[in-house]
A and B are shown apart, each in its own frame.
Chain A
């Protein structure tokens, strides 16, 4: 009997190892080699690890596509990895440490926390490894460049659109994804400051955080609508938050009564804009962020000078322009 179990266990182990070698290429932290690179990474070919904030959202997959595109064009090796959720600051630091240990040519890094990574970045600087920050900036001058959307400006545009759509007065609310990351802070404050400065008749009655979790954002938005029956609009600061708001407004049967403005894209937001549930959204250019990050990292590794801030741009999209080619190019499903 005991022998039987041991055999079964052995089979299981073999099976699992077989699975992992097959499935490896699909795993989120997979090594991605540019096409036509049979040579191992040890050759003089540049190696750039890209550390993102996750793959919870399609956004990060789109960044990856851009990064891989640049890697293929510039003939360098990259790895792309990210944390499971956008709150795992500690795990991300481990990833950064591992990446540093591999002595790469340069590093692309999207900080989950604008402070926590600074000691590691100092190590990178001491080792002469150039760092390119992307998506979120870091409170440090070590990164040679930051490739990002100017989130505060973009959220200000969202605020203008909101004001226009609700007629310049009334109560609105924000469902944000978190209180600590740069994007969370910039989008929330960019929106809030614009409303406060320019639209005195509009009142932001509540700001709640759903951690980018669809279900929690849904419940938070519903509670706000419950507490403020006259609410005219809600701004969701990322994909998960915006989808939560859409769900909440649909569940509360308040479509048309509550104006929804979102951020980023993804199929659910695109569908909601097409069918009129959502008024519109700001999209960053994730493919561009990935592309520009790798491009800047390669330039830095080669000792070329690069601009300290690379704006990857943003677009406002709604029903009227969602099918335009230039808008389609920055959206992802």
Chain B
């Protein structure tokens, strides 16, 4: 099997990204310590839950984006595809009156289909990822408005739906441990993503394509088909994010979500995944997403004006990418 060359590369990545994750994790801890000292109201159970809850949607988007970024690609459509998935879930549940599980499957399939189309455009039609997903971003944005007739779709008649994000299965099991389901789902999706990336053939080919696409193709792997699979995986994650958002707001809002893709990409990059592909971990992305929301939350609690919050986040992204470049120079 020619694949062995590909497989052998893996441990090397694991060591490098291990150091990287340590650094990223260290920054997260430093931030938490800083904000805890700066404000008495930062480090307590309800605020930590608040931070985790605000990480969930962007976090799941970032998890999905990790896959395509590792191939050396990009997915700019995740923000609006998330919105479209939410709207479709709303159509299934509120407008057609179908049961909640059907609506969830509908939302996931919407995400998967959009991902599939992006992947197909990239792998089969040869359109660069940036352009193909930019087009998908607009298509999804437009369709979300057309389908919903530019009106929000409410889930108010359906109490079960809101429980998806804001109920607490853990709180029911262990009294007082009221972690919202959205947070639980975020971590489950992360574990699932981590297994998919590090233990399965999808992940192995994902890294292979990202580190050397030509070599991967020459070793007999159908790169095109695997790319479609990977973009579809990202689409499914995006669908999950859409359902989480709709459930938390109890509304599918057709024009939310624009700009979320950039926050997701920022989280992935802060987490140490390289934009040039071939390198990255799910754990890194989880920490990257947490850093983003800890920063936003902490600066808000300190009552730092909003304008400055955005400036700070921008600098953090610069720092993270520069750190990545420094590490690569050393090795």
- B-binding residues in A (CB < 8 A): 23, 26-28, 54-56, 58, 61, 84-85, 179, 205-206, 208-209, 213-215, 218-220, 222-224, 226-229, 243, 247, 251-252, 266-268, 271
Contact = CB atoms under 8 A, between A and B. Distances in A.
B166 to A, nearest CB: 7
B145 interface: yes
Contacts of A179: 306-307
B145 A28 contact: yes
B159 interface: no
B50 A61 contact: no
A222 B256 CA distance: 19
29 contacts: A23-B146, A26-B146, A28-B150, A54-B255, A58-B152, A84-B141, A84-B255, A179-B306, A179-B307, A208-B306, A214-B256, A215-B57, A215-B245, A215-B248, A215-B249, A219-B54, A223-B300, A223-B301, A224-B300, A226-B46, A226-B297, A226-B301, A227-B41, A227-B300, A227-B301, A247-B248, A251-B50, A252-B50, A271-B156
B182 to A, nearest CB: 10
Contact of A251 (B42, B53, B152, B253): B53
Nearest to B299: A223
A84 B258 contact: yes
A84 B154 CA distance: 20
Nearest to A64: B150
A15 B251 CA distance: 30
A27 B258 contact: no
B310 to A, nearest CB: 10
B114 to A, nearest CB: 15
A208 B310 CA distance: 13
List 5 A-B pairs, minimum CB-CB distance, nearest first: A223-B300, A227-B301, A219-B54, A56-B255, A226-B47
Contact of B146 (A27, A206, A243): A27
Contacts, number: 91
Residue from A55, A227, A267 having most chain B Cβ neighbours under 10 A: A227
Question: Which applies to chain A's interface (DSSP): helix, strand, loop or mixed?
Answer: helix
Given A214-B251, A214-B253, A227-B39, A219 B296 contact: yes
Contacts of B150: 26, 28, 55, 61
A156 B258 CA distance: 33
A268 B154 contact: yes
Contacts of A206: 303
B8 interface: no
B16 interface: no
Interface string B289-331: 0000000110011110011000000000000000000000000
Contact of A223 (B50, B151, B180, B251): B50
Contacts of A61: 150-151
Contacts of A54: 255
A127 B220 CA distance: 67
